[in-house]
Amino acid sequence: MARARVKLGEIKASLRTRTDGWKVVRQKAPSSPLYTSNPSLKAHADDVIAKGKALDDANLAIVKAEADLAHLRELRDAKAREYDLAYSSLASTAESATTEPGDLLALGLEVRDPGTLALEPPSRVSVGSAPGTGVVDIAVRGYRGRGSFVIEISPDPATEETYTRIAGTGAKRQVEGLAPGLYWVRVALQKAKGQSAFCLPLPVLVR
């Protein structure tokens, strides 16, 4: 009986199921006569199994990293609220003790024109990146009224010189052509009477 030939199109179609395809090869190949009798084929099958396992490990690592990142964002937000409360308490106490700007500056406090004191940093900023695109989407939400936004991105939030300003003034912005890695985004409110401080940097993973 003539052996049925597998069409090339069928082979290509099977290769698209790479998520589980290697597991099927791992399960069935060792009992195949071709696997045991053809060293070259065995080497290719073993390579598929090894690389499939590595791909699964990488996917699991990404899932874990995203879960860890979500947890870190929650911790960061809690710490940010604690910091804002502590800083506000320090500023209020200092302002009740002196009216001299020099005294406030000596404490390390920021002294701004009273007309800009009402400008608070944006508090509802969302960042995200679809896998494989190299693109970061940024949106400022919940703000009503006149004003624009200054948005910057950096691979190293602790180093001021690494921040790059994103062109535009709107509440939604997109950054393209980014290499895979972890980036940080910060946003400030800009109005005619001045600019607010930047919000705390928000992490976004590009992959």
Give the rounded percent of residues in the chain with a pLDDT score beyond 90.
27
| Of 110, 123, 113, nearest in space to 193 by CA | 113
Average model confidence (pLDDT) across the chain: 82
CB neighbours of 135 closer than 8 A, spacing ≥ 6? 129, 174, 175, 176, 178, 206
Q: How far apart are CA 91 and CA 108, in angstroms?
A: 10
For residue 7, the model assigns a pLDDT of 52
Q: Does 7 or 79 have the greater pLDDT score?
A: 79
Q: How far apart are CA 151 and CA 188, in angstroms?
A: 7
For residue 133, the model assigns a pLDDT of 93
**pTM for the predicted model, two decimal places:** 0.49
Q: Does 113 or 44 have the greater pLDDT score?
A: 44
DSSP state of 16: T
Task: Note the pLDDT tens digit of each residue in 105-126.
Answer: 788 877 665 554 557 888 889 9
Task: Note the pLDDT tens digit of each residue in 151-204.
Answer: 999 999 888 999 999 999 999 999 999 999 999 999 999 887 788 889 889 999
Q: Does 62 or 126 have the greater pLDDT score?
A: 126
For residue 13, the model assigns a pLDDT of 44
* Number of residues in the chain: 207
DSSP state of 17: -
For residue 114, the model assigns a pLDDT of 56
pLDDT at 15 over 70: no
Q: Does 159 or 88 have the greater pLDDT score?
A: 159
